[in-house]
Amino acid sequence: MVLEISTSRAIAPQILRHRSFSFQEFSQRYAEADSFIPGKARRQDLRNRQNSIDDIDEQTQLWFEQTQKEIWEFAHKKYSESLERGIAKECARALLPLSTATRLYMNGTIRSWIHYIQLRTDISTQLEHRMVAEQCREVFVKQLPLIAKALKWDMQ
């Protein structure tokens, strides 16, 4: 099964670590970057370094959202200026933040998809990556209903 995944440059490396898949990534070397995916602020879990806790106050959330937007706008402006100055896209992309949107094509066996979905829909997975895995599970359930039923994914 091959799926197109839209995510940020921050989450893409986590997905690319799954070595049983083959990947193609949208290349910002050849095409211009034009959008970003803002993240939500969460507090670091002091007991589990791989976890974050969703209890940040609204004022801090708004600050974080606005800050991401400001950084994107500034970085994208400088990125665009670089292109206007004749700097190659492959060089100019170094100015873009990790919130820059990217697109992956993820190709794997059904067995690999089952393992990936089971692993990455777990609560211990970073929220943004978990959301990607949950969307993958939705496609899996729709396209492979008998296998999804055997896995009891059709009830989730």
Please tell me whether the overall predicted TM-score, pTM, comes out greater than 0.85 for this model: yes
Which residue carries 């100055």 as its tokens? Answer: 85
Percent of the chain whose predicted confidence (pLDDT) is above 70: 99
CA atoms of 114 and 151, how far apart (whole Å): 9
At the topology level, CATH places domain 2-155 in Gyrase A; domain 2 (3.30.1360)
The pLDDT assigned to 34 comes to 86
Q: Answer whether residue 27 shows pLDDT above 80.
A: no
Q: What's the rounded Cα separation, in Å, for the pair 121 and 70?
A: 31
Position 50 scores a pLDDT of: 80
Q: Which residues contact 76 (CB under 8 A, 6 or more apart)?
A: 33, 34, 36, 96
Mean pLDDT over the full length of the chain: 93
pLDDT digits (tens, 9 = 90+) for 14-26: 999 999 999 998 8
108-123 pLDDT tens trace: 999 999 999 999 999 8
Domain ranges of the chain: 2-155
Residue 30 pLDDT exceeds 90: no
Q: CA dist 151 to 2, 34, 56, 122, 144, Å?
A: 20, 39, 35, 15, 11
Over residues 60-73, the mean pLDDT reads 97
Provide the percentage of residues in the chain whose pLDDT is more than 90.
Answer: 83
List active site positions: 120
